[in-house]
Chains A and B, each alone.
Chain A
Amino acid sequence: MRPTPPAAPRPSEITPRERYLNRREIIAGVTGASLGLVAGNAAAAERLKYAKNPRLSLSEAPNSYEDITTYNNFYEFGTDKADPSARAGHFRPKPWTVTVAGEAEVTGAFALEDILRPHALEERIYRLRCVEAWSMVIPWVGLPLGDLIKRFKPTSRARYVAFKTVQRPSEMPGQRFPVLDWPYVEGLRIDEAMHPLTILAVGLYGEVLPNQNGAPLRLVVPWKYGFKSIKSIVEIRFTEKQPPTSWSLSAPREYGFYANVNPGVDHPRWSQAEERRIGAGLFTPRQPTLMFNGYAGQVAGLYAGMDLRKNL
């Protein structure tokens, strides 16, 4: 008989940030930087000013800072989960320019500070579900994408929003090999982009985003598989036609444009019915995957009448 899956990682399993930072110093002292443990973000990251948003946040305990910042899929830095934290040290998230283009009244190249200035930052504790069938709970700090979009006044022809990641092989070693067609691109339907749950994140655990998590600006769409939450964004383009997305270009039979978390639609090669919760340790079973990653109440309406098996 299968044991009932746990609801969330136990608070006792979460490494307090202070102890985590201290532990790195201790290890660095004993074994030196040769172990590569002192990654680029060893210095205490800049704290952000933000307000909590309990209405749009989970009450589940978040994963540890260590897990969130050392287990990453960010192929621009390498395809191993440990690569981004090990290799992102030389990436320079400042200065940063975001280009807004396409079907909108206000377009142009903007410094990140100008993009962010009018917005109040909030904390959103969200589930993140990777298509590889693992998940985390992450306390992002960011702003609603919809609020940003409104400032650029998209026209009635703007039916989609397309995003592009920076292309910088000199600082992103993974981009020197065409694992994917660089630069990474993603997109959302305009109503998905305007949805209150969709945010642009600039921080994590109250601090500026570490490089390996998509600094300085990334998307978070919690009801979709993690690959939709594009990182290190340099371009936001409003388009009339559905934009291409990197994973869909790489394997169209396996990854679609919508990529809504759906336990009823398996990946062609593996099941999506269950997921492994990171941080739950060696002796916890997988837990059932929730429709729309548990956000069905808020987003199911966007897809009313759509065949979610055909629209991967």
Chain B
Amino acid sequence: MKKGRALLFVACVAPLVWLVARALGVAGLGLGANPIEALLRFLGLWGLRLLLATLCITPLSVRLRKPKLMGVRRLLGLFAFTYLGLHFLTWLVLDQWLSASRIVADIAKRPYITVGFTALLMLVPLAVTSTRGWMRRLGRRWHRLHKLVYPAAILGCVHFWWQVKADWREPLAYAVVLAGLLVWRLRRARRATTIPIDPVTMPRFGA
């Protein structure tokens, strides 16, 4: 498991390393004619991918009957938060030049920025309470808090969709994957609350 986790860690860092290489112009690589847009797009897309990957773990661990897989969620989730945090920082610093008035105006007036900012805000308490200490402190409330990942992921997809001029295919693909992951959970939740209790076939726990 340790080797798997190490590999996963490396896989999560790799895009960032690639991005830094491009930004520094290593080996003739570059960020292209519009480097700020390239940074924003790369960090945003990888953040969303990692967020969706985080949401894949529960269905995978149930399907493959590997409950230990669940432990990987924190790693993926924190990496998603890192990429998205960097995405936001790039926007704040390189695009908006820390101009508070423009930043506030943009968040208020441009719907795609409003939803993006809201999505990131939702992920902040999740990142902060990702430790075991917080899990213990919050108990059952931790699970309820971390359900915020669902609206965050939805808003992330909307943020992507609302920036596209005409080619909906890429944001559609992400939305379809997210929809599948959410539907899986909905079905599971419904099944869990509607098991018919038949006295003859009632499951005997511990049997």
Q: Across the two chains, which residue of chain B brings its CB closest to A2?
A: B99
Asked if A283 and B94 make an inter-chain contact with CB atoms under 8 angstroms apart, the answer reads yes
Interface residues of A in 66-97 (CB under 8 A from B): 66-67, 70-71, 75, 79, 81-82
Interface residues of B in 98-145 (CB under 8 A from A): 99, 106, 109-112
Asked if A179 and B34 make an inter-chain contact with CB atoms under 8 angstroms apart, the answer reads no
Q: Given A2-B99, A250-B166, A285-B97, are A23 and B28 neighbors across the interface (CB < 8 Å)? A: yes
Question: Using Cβ atoms and an 8 Å threshold, which residues of chain A touch B162?
Answer: 269
Q: Judge whether A295 is part of the interface by a CB distance below 8 angstroms.
A: no
Give, as a whole number of angstroms, the nearest-CB distance from B175 to chain A: 17
Question: Using Cβ atoms and an 8 Å threshold, which residues of chain B touch A237?
Answer: none
Asked if A75 and B33 make an inter-chain contact with CB atoms under 8 angstroms apart, the answer reads no
Asked if A270 and B33 make an inter-chain contact with CB atoms under 8 angstroms apart, the answer reads no
Interface residues of A, Cβ cutoff 8 Å to B: 2-3, 23, 27, 30-31, 63, 66-67, 70-71, 75, 79, 81-82, 132, 134, 177, 179-180, 250-251, 269-271, 276, 278-279, 281-283, 285-286
Asked if A269 and B110 make an inter-chain contact with CB atoms under 8 angstroms apart, the answer reads yes
Q: What are 12 inter-chain pairs, A to B, with CB distance below 8 A?
A: A27-B28, A30-B28, A31-B28, A66-B33, A79-B167, A82-B32, A177-B169, A250-B166, A270-B110, A271-B106, A276-B36, A282-B35
Distance, CA A2 to CA B103, complexed state (A): 13
Asked if A134 and B34 make an inter-chain contact with CB atoms under 8 angstroms apart, the answer reads yes
Asked if A180 and B166 make an inter-chain contact with CB atoms under 8 angstroms apart, the answer reads yes
Q: Across the two chains, which residue of chain B brings its CB closest to A274?
A: B102
Asked if B32 and A281 make an inter-chain contact with CB atoms under 8 angstroms apart, the answer reads no
Asked if A282 and B36 make an inter-chain contact with CB atoms under 8 angstroms apart, the answer reads yes
Query: Beyond the given A63-B33, A75-B166, A282-B31, could you list 7 further A-B residue pairs with CB under 8 A, ordered by the A residue number?
Result: A71-B34, A79-B167, A269-B110, A269-B112, A276-B34, A278-B34, A283-B94
Q: How large is the interface on B (under 10, 10 to 19, 20 to 34, 35 or more residues)?
A: 20 to 34
Give, as a whole number of angstroms, the nearest-CB distance from A20 to chain B: 12
Asked if B167 and A70 make an inter-chain contact with CB atoms under 8 angstroms apart, the answer reads no
Question: Using Cβ atoms and an 8 Å threshold, which residues of chain B touch A177?
Answer: 169
Distance, CA A30 to CA B27, complexed state (A): 10
Distance, CA A286 to CA B36, complexed state (A): 11
Distance, CA A270 to CA B110, complexed state (A): 6
Give, as a whole number of angstroms, the nearest-CB distance from B87 to chain A: 15
Asked if B28 and A71 make an inter-chain contact with CB atoms under 8 angstroms apart, the answer reads no
Q: Given A251-B166, A269-B162, A271-B110, are A81 and B32 neighbors across the interface (CB < 8 Å)? A: yes
Asked if A286 and B33 make an inter-chain contact with CB atoms under 8 angstroms apart, the answer reads no
Asked if A81 and B34 make an inter-chain contact with CB atoms under 8 angstroms apart, the answer reads yes
Distance, CA A67 to CA B33, complexed state (A): 5
Question: Using Cβ atoms and an 8 Å threshold, which residues of chain B touch A269?
Answer: 110-112, 162-163
Asked if A71 and B32 make an inter-chain contact with CB atoms under 8 angstroms apart, the answer reads yes
Asked if B166 and A179 make an inter-chain contact with CB atoms under 8 angstroms apart, the answer reads yes
Q: Across the two chains, which residue of chain B brings its CB closest to A134?
A: B34
Per-residue interface assignment for chain B, residues 34 to 66, with 1 indicating a CB less than 8 Å from any chain A CB and 0 otherwise: 111101000000000000000000000000000
